Structure 1
Amino acid sequence: MCTTKEKILLTSLKLFAQDGYEAVSISKISGELGMAKSALYKHYKNKRDIFDSILNRMDEMDCERARDYNMPNGDMDTIIKEYKQISIDKIRIYTEVQFKHWTEDEFSSLFRRMLTLEQYRNQEMADLYQKYLVSGPIAYMTDLFAGITGKTDEAGQLAIEFYGPIFLMYSLHDNKREGDDLMEMLKKHVDRFSKKIDRY
């Protein structure tokens, strides 16, 4: 059952994704919820407290997802060692899970839309957009591919070749036309890329 705190969090995120974080006031959030501001303040100190709780929720979801699918964890050396033992089927499944996380999960997709909207107006949002959706994933994959292939000079390019099409598919999903099968496209992309990595 959805608690009042969770309702406040999701309603706030919906408004942030629609109007932008800066444009949304506590009054607007409480009005959307049909509650007095004083009632909202019993759960969150202010708008920043709500936003910090959204960030915490995103990080918790990320950890839970990796744990649920038994993905490599720990320091980068351990992660690289474990990834070398993982089957392509497991990598494909987790890539699909990650894609659905950013496109179909209500909370995560709203978070992505909020960052996309706000990145041009707010430096903190621009930094978070990079962390969660651009430079963060690329940096992680660069280190991963460097360890897996031993080609440190090519690892950054490999990271872009793997992640770039997936990032583009987020936009394709947002403007999806009938008949588009992005999951099939994603599967083919992972399969093709795995064959390239196997050659190293």
Structure 2
Amino acid sequence: MKQEDTRQKILDKALELFAAKGYDSVSVGEIAQAVGIKAPSLYNHFPGKQAIFDAIVEATAAQYEADTDRIDIHVQDAGQDIPVFTEITEDALFEKVRQIFSYSLHNETISRFRRMMTIEQFRSPELAALYSRRYVGRVLDYHAGIFRALIAAGEICPEDPDTLAMLYVAPVVTLLGVCDRQPEREAECLERLRKHVGLFFRMVHGKTPESGGDDGTAR
């Protein structure tokens, strides 16, 4: 096995074990066994378990950015995506949310990393801060930036963008958590997600069911 292949397999197997059992419950020997190498060989690639964890955090962030770039989601740079959300339709907005929701749920690496961090946020203040920054802070900041630009352009109601971000993001994160715990509820959660996005879209655009067509939906 090539050096780089072995390194990647160490990261993959470590993430799988950390997501299932938690960081403290997994030993270097257990990771090595899962990879199919002996513990001393693992140290040729990483100096210890913490280095493996740190490499997982870095690699997963890079993968997320590369993958979401394909659907015009750049959480680190809201300004890059403002043209995508300008004059977007309700259906197009839901499709974008559905794509990122499904990606977050079904990409094995991203899903395992989220489960790992859900456990590890209680292990140390540093990891709690990382969890808050990655899954709360940067997502809220990103959407607040989008809403701020749309408000300035007169596209949506002039409400506080940070509060709008909280209203928009919180149900999505809640539904993702439900699917993590109960995957059999995915279809139900996607329908709830569709209704949430539709309601939010109509709310920020100042539309009500009465302002829509004959079927009571906004156009």
**TM-score, normalised to structure 2's length?**
0.77
Deviations 1:70-93 (A, max 9, x none): 446885445435432544444322
- Amino acid paired to 2:19: A
Q: 2:193 is matched with which residue?
A: 186
- Amino acid paired to 1:169: L
Deviations 1:130-157 (A, max 9, x none): 1221222112222221221247762122
Distance of 1:113 and 1:75 partners within structure 2: 25
Q: What pairs with 1:11-160 in structure 2 (closer than 5 Å)?
A: 11-71=13-73, 76-150=78-152, 154-160=160-166
Deviations 1:23-69 (A, max 9, x none): 32212211233311122223333223222221222222222223212
Q: Once the 2 structures are TM-superposed, how far is the Cα of residue 102 of structure 1 from its aligned partner?
A: 2.5
Q: Once the 2 structures are TM-superposed, how far is the Cα of residue 168 of structure 1 from its aligned partner?
A: 0.7
Q: 1:8 is matched with which residue?
A: 10
Q: Does the residue aligned with 1:98 lie in a helix, a strand or coil?
A: helix
Q: 2:174 is matched with which residue?
A: 168
* Seq. identity, %: 28
Distance of 1:5 and 1:94 partners within structure 2: 34
Q: 1:42 to 1:65 in 2, by over 3 A?
A: same
Larger gyration radius, structure 1 or structure 2: 2
Runs of 5+ consecutive residues of structure 2 not aligned to the other structure: 208-219
Tell me how many residue pairs correspond in the alignment.
199
Q: Once the 2 structures are TM-superposed, how far is the Cα of residue 107 of structure 1 from its aligned partner?
A: 1.0
Q: 1:116 to 1:152 in 2, by over 3 A?
A: farther
Distance of 2:30 and 2:90 partners within structure 1: 47
Which range is displaced more, 67-76 or 150-159? 67-76
**Cα RMSD (Å):** 2.7
Q: 1:136 to 1:4 in 2, by over 3 A?
A: same
Distance of 1:88 and 1:168 partners within structure 2: 21
Distance of 1:143 and 1:87 partners within structure 2: 19
Q: Does the residue aligned with 1:134 lie in a helix, a strand or coil?
A: helix
Q: 1:91 to 1:61 in 2, by over 3 A?
A: farther
Instruction: Assess if the C-alpha contact under 8 Å between 2:64 and 2:110 holds in 1.
Output: no
